[in-house]
């Protein structure tokens, strides 16, 4: 169905950042918190879909010249502009209404996300570096929104780590776009004219390093020790490094033009990511699962 396709449900996996507070806030065993986190996830899916459609309407002409984006229903002309506007508006209204049911603070974050992403589509996406910074802030808002929905405190180290990691992902996408589009890259995205493979490689190194350092600082933080009764999260660092290094390798090789493709298709990366998530859950919930302590 074309109307569902313009909502880009395949991109909803990006909203898993909403669940970070549920896991690291030790609420995964609380049914009410799990329900609220799931509700927050779907609210963000609707909000993100509203923005995807809005962005596709604005970019429909340039998308029509893109080797992959030309297949999108709005760019291809299989969904009318009026229909797309209606769907986008309904998604945004449903996201805001649902967020108000969950929590006022959560609704505030959702609204801030929608406004920021509209500004991104209209303005910030045309500004080199700032385009990636704004995208990363959007992911941080997902993590903050999850904490507001569940009602837990989220460490500032985790927020900074999320920001750095998402900057890494954003720069990875720019690197993939340059490889895919080659010399014509600036015709499809204005900011690509300023990015070079060498510059992006440097940015990937800096942001990935920052993400790892922030995670280590969070893992070794005194507050983490008080809450979890252990600093053993630091021992998941080899998995963190493996996932980041493999991701960077495949992107810079040009194996994938979009980070989401890598997430869906690369089995070694998927295994490393799943092992890291399971390791974190095992460490954080060791006492509740009955196989560990301080």
CATH number for position 75? 1.10.357.140
Q: How many domains does the chain have?
A: 2
pLDDT at residue 294, rounded to an integer: 43
137 and 181 belong to one structural domain: no
* Angle formed at CA 13 by CA 197 and CA 238, multiple of 5 degrees: 65
Out of 102, 129, 154, pick the residue that ends a domain.
154
pLDDT at residue 182, rounded to an integer: 64
Using the predicted structure, report yes or no on whether residue 19 has a pLDDT greater than 90. Answer: yes
Categorize the per-residue pLDDT at 211 as very low, low, confident or very high, splitting at 50, 70 and 90: very high
Using the predicted structure, report yes or no on whether residue 193 has a pLDDT greater than 80. Answer: no
146 and 222 belong to one structural domain: no
Token pair of 291 as six digits: 């196989």
Using the predicted structure, report yes or no on whether residue 261 has a pLDDT greater than 50. Answer: yes
178 and 126 belong to one structural domain: no
Q: Helix count (H) and strand count (E) of the chain?
A: 16, 0
143 and 223 belong to one structural domain: no
Tell which residue, 14, 166, 78, 113, has the closest CA to residue 121. Answer: 113
Out of 103, 123, 154, pick the residue that ends a domain.
154
Other Cβ atoms within 10 Å of 16 Cβ, number: 13
Span 266-279, pLDDT tens digits: 999 999 999 999 99
Categorize the per-residue pLDDT at 176 as very low, low, confident or very high, splitting at 50, 70 and 90: confident
Span 58-112, pLDDT tens digits: 888 877 766 777 777 888 878 889 999 999 999 999 999 999 999 899 999 999 9
């Amino acid at each position: 169905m074309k109307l569902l396709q313009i909502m880009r449900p395949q991109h909803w996996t990006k909203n898993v950042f909403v669940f970070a507070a549920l896991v690291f806030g030790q609420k995964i065993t609380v049914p009410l918190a799990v329900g609220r986190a799931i509700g927050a996830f779907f609210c963000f899916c609707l909000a993100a879909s509203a923005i995807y459609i809005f962005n596709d309407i604005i970019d429909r002409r340039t998308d029509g010249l893109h080797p992959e984006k030309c297949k999108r229903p709005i760019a291809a002309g299989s969904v009318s502009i009026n229909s797309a506007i209606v769907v986008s508006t309904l998604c945004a209204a449903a996201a805001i209404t649902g967020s108000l049911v969950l929590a006022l603070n959560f609704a505030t974050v959702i609204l801030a996300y929608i406004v920021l992403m509209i500004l991104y589509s209209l303005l910030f996406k045309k500004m080199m570096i700032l385009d990636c910074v704004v995208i990363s802030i959007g992911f941080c808002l997902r993590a903050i929104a999850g904490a507001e929905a569940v009602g837990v405190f989220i460490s500032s180290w985790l927020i900074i780590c999320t920001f750095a990691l998402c900057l890494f992902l954003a720069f990875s996408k720019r690197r993939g776009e340059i490889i895919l589009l080659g010399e014509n890259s600036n015709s499809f995205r204005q900011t690509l004219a300023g990015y070079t493979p060498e510059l992006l490689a440097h940015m990937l190194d800096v942001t990935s390093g920052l993400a790892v350092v922030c995670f280590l600082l969070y893992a070794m933080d005194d507050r983490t020790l008080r809450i979890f009764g252990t600093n053993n999260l630091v021992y998941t660092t080899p998995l963190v490094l493996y996932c980041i290094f493999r991701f960077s390798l495949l992107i810079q090789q040009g194996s994938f033009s979009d980070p989401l493709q890598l997430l869906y298709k690369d089995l070694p990366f998927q295994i490393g990511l799943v092992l890291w998530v399971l390791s974190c859950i095992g460490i954080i919930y060791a006492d509740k699962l009955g196989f560990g302590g301080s």
